[in-house]
Structure 1
Amino acid sequence: MDVNLSQERISEGPNGEQWNPGAGGWPTIRYFNKETGLKGGTYVKKTNGAMCDELGDDEMMTAYVEEYGNTSACSIETKQGCDEREVAYIGKMSTKSLEDIEVQLKRLVGMEGNSMKPELLVWLKKRVKILKQLKAAQGEEL
């Protein structure tokens, strides 16, 4: 559903609190989940490009949905939703010990705040999600 806030002003939330859903400029991209409730959360841009260019890119949009939805399209069990690079990484990391996976996960999570090209950030986040799945799977085996 599209809402044109210049014509249909929304300034009050469901509990009477003041809102400004368009704060931060246009287009405004928001996500909604259990943590954010009806107020939603604000998407944080990853590039210096226009929002429509950034989220118009299939990989960037998929990364956005996965990041804010706390999900992954790539399954380590079935390999469905995984690209060739992810499948190779799953193969490489699935032979590692839980300790090795935790070390690699900590290293990659520590790199997330660093400035890097958008495509590298997408790949970093994909690896983090794979490692989290591997860690959970190994934890279940113990």
Structure 2
Amino acid sequence: MRPSTLLALASAVGYAAAGVNCNGSSNCAGLSFSLSNFVQLSQQLDENRIYRPGEHIICAEGAFGNGACAFLQGNSAENGHFVKILLQDLLNYGCKKCGSIPVDATQGGNDDGNGILTVNAVGSTGGCNGIC
């Protein structure tokens, strides 16, 4: 597992059981990115590509290699089409920067047990800035 993946997972552990939320690291507020920008970028995702838990999907890299990334947590691997839907739903929920949404939220669920999509601050984007 890449160090950037471990950092992404570690930064989101505290929010793994919160359902749909706009929580995130205290570092989120100081980063210059927006969830709406991630939603726009997601339109370029390959709809058939499968993203695995911990894999950076979209990132906004900061000046020192840190930044914010969207990634899955838990047991759920999802395709690009579904990631687009989840990011839009997180924005529709009212999140501006960081947040998490259970993968079953599109079916009316709010259970994190099936996996979640998270947008959060990371210590390293692994060099990704945009679609990873």
Scaled by the length of structure 2, the TM-score of the pair is 0.25
User: Of Structure 1 and Structure 2, which has the larger fraction of its residues in strand?
Assistant: 2
User: Of Structure 1 and Structure 2, which has the larger fraction of its residues in helix?
Assistant: 1
Which protein has the larger Cα radius of gyration, Structure 1 or Structure 2?
1
